[in-house]
Chains A and B, each alone.
Chain A
Amino acid sequence: MNLLDYVLPCLWAFLACVGFGLVFNIQGVGVLICGLGAGLGWLVYLVCVNFLTGDIFSAFVAAMAIGVYSEIMARIRRCPVTGYLQVALLPLVPGAGIYYTMRYCVEGETQLFLSTLLHTFGFAAALSIGAMLTSSVLRALLPKLRLGRE
């Protein structure tokens, strides 16, 4: 895998999420921060998939990275973390999973349908738990470190 295979998808993720930030009415630099979070998350995911095993675990790690990034940005900019987290997680949300699940269902491939369905659920759960875990841990830790509240 050469470098371009890492850089291009992250660039597309960045641009796509900047677009989605506009839809969510994120003004100013916030929209770039969201895009960067998305690119970063996808980079972590790609690296994990290539050097560790299992894409569900990679999604978990990537979601944790996004969680940390969003919480830090939210505290620096003194804004709610909601927007950053939601937009940055978007490339990882299993849109493709939903699509393939439905396609196998329509084609009558029951085995593939069931395995894709379960895989999609697992992926989504890994995402939410990863993002949530960092939020909870940082929420508990940061006030003690005197880094200010959100």
Chain B
Amino acid sequence: MDYDKLLNLGMELGRRLMASGAEIYRVEESVQRLLSAYGLEPQVFAIPNCLLVSVTTPQGNPITSMCRIPSHGTDIELLERCNQLCRQLCQNPLPVEEARRLVGELPQGRRFSPKILLLGYGMTTAFFSLFFGGGMQDGLCALICGLVVGSSILFAQRLTGSNVFFRTVVNAALASALATLLVKMGLGSNLEAITIGTLMVLVPGMALTNAMREIMAGDIFSGLHHTAEVLLVATAIALGTAVPMLLSRHL
């Protein structure tokens, strides 16, 4: 049996899982089960930006592979596909080449076009501003804000950089400034509802739930990592929103 190839197979699946925003225990468990299904006894260790897999061949040679995981968003479709493939391979271990090909095909799942994603952002912000007590006009304002913030998230990543903190500050400032502007122009009336509705797409809800799940699952390190991320992003939102607010007060 080709142990290098098997290790690469496990590594690839783990990497895809991590990139889809899966919890750490899910990544570790999936890689563990997959390699166990091929008769290995792997050691798997993952933290939010690193994945380590190690196996020992029957001859006693240890082989280890390490992969650094870049910052990523959430892709539930990819997560579901990985999960399904993993379960399938665990029940019925295909030849390594075949399995490798299937893992390679994972990212080719269905994906929404940027237009639909933008619509998603707009819908979220518009309905959240209604949810927070805004009127129909405020919803319309929030829709505009959401489209702008959404396009900033989707298309302007090169300008705002890869730093989560800075990116969130810029986006929150953009949302707040636009909301203030629209209210000053007289289109909306409830500034709070518009701003909060727009901020909901930036709020780190996903990191918050993941952090707690990981702490409860015993992955204290990853849990703390995500908790720190939540606090950082929340601070960034507050900072970014404060800037236009202060400016509008003194202008």
List A contacts of B117 (CB < 8 A): 22-23
Q: Does B137 contact A (CB under 8 A)?
A: no
List A contacts of B22 (CB < 8 A): 80, 82
Knowing A22-B116, A99-B199 touch, does A91 contact B80 (C-beta < 8 A)? no
Q: Tell me, in angstroms, the Cα distance from A80 to B242 when the chains sit together.
A: 38
Are the C-beta atoms of B124 and A20 separated by less than 8 Å?
Answer: yes
Chain A interface category by residue count:
35 or more
Q: Tell me, in angstroms, the Cα distance from A13 to B131 when the chains sit together.
A: 6
Most chain B beta-carbon contacts within 10 A, residue among A78, A80, A90: A80
Are the C-beta atoms of B77 and A85 separated by less than 8 Å?
Answer: no
List A contacts of B124 (CB < 8 A): 16-17, 19-20, 23
Are the C-beta atoms of A12 and B110 separated by less than 8 Å?
Answer: no
Which secondary structure dominates where chain A touches chain B?
Answer: helix
Which one, B42-50, B54-62, B92-100, B204-212, is touching chain A? Answer: B204-212
Knowing A25-B77, A80-B79, A93-B205 touch, does A16 contact B127 (C-beta < 8 A)? yes
Are the C-beta atoms of A82 and B79 separated by less than 8 Å?
Answer: yes
Q: Does B135 contact A (CB under 8 A)?
A: no
Q: Does B23 contact A (CB under 8 A)?
A: yes
Knowing A22-B112, A80-B80, A82-B21 touch, does A99 contact B131 (C-beta < 8 A)? no
List 14 extra interface pairs beyond A20-B200, A86-B210, CB under 8 A: A16-B200, A19-B122, A19-B124, A19-B127, A22-B116, A23-B120, A25-B75, A82-B76, A83-B79, A95-B203, A102-B239, A127-B209, A128-B208, A132-B212
Q: Enumerate 17 A-B pairs (CB-CB under 8 Å) in ascending A order.
A: A16-B125, A16-B200, A21-B120, A23-B120, A27-B109, A80-B83, A83-B80, A89-B209, A90-B205, A91-B128, A93-B203, A95-B203, A98-B237, A99-B238, A128-B212, A131-B209, A136-B216
- The interface of chain B, by Cβ under 8 A from chain A, is 21-23, 26, 74-80, 83-84, 109-112, 116-117, 119-128, 130-132, 192, 195-196, 199-201, 203, 205-206, 208-213, 216, 234, 237-239, 241-242, 245-246
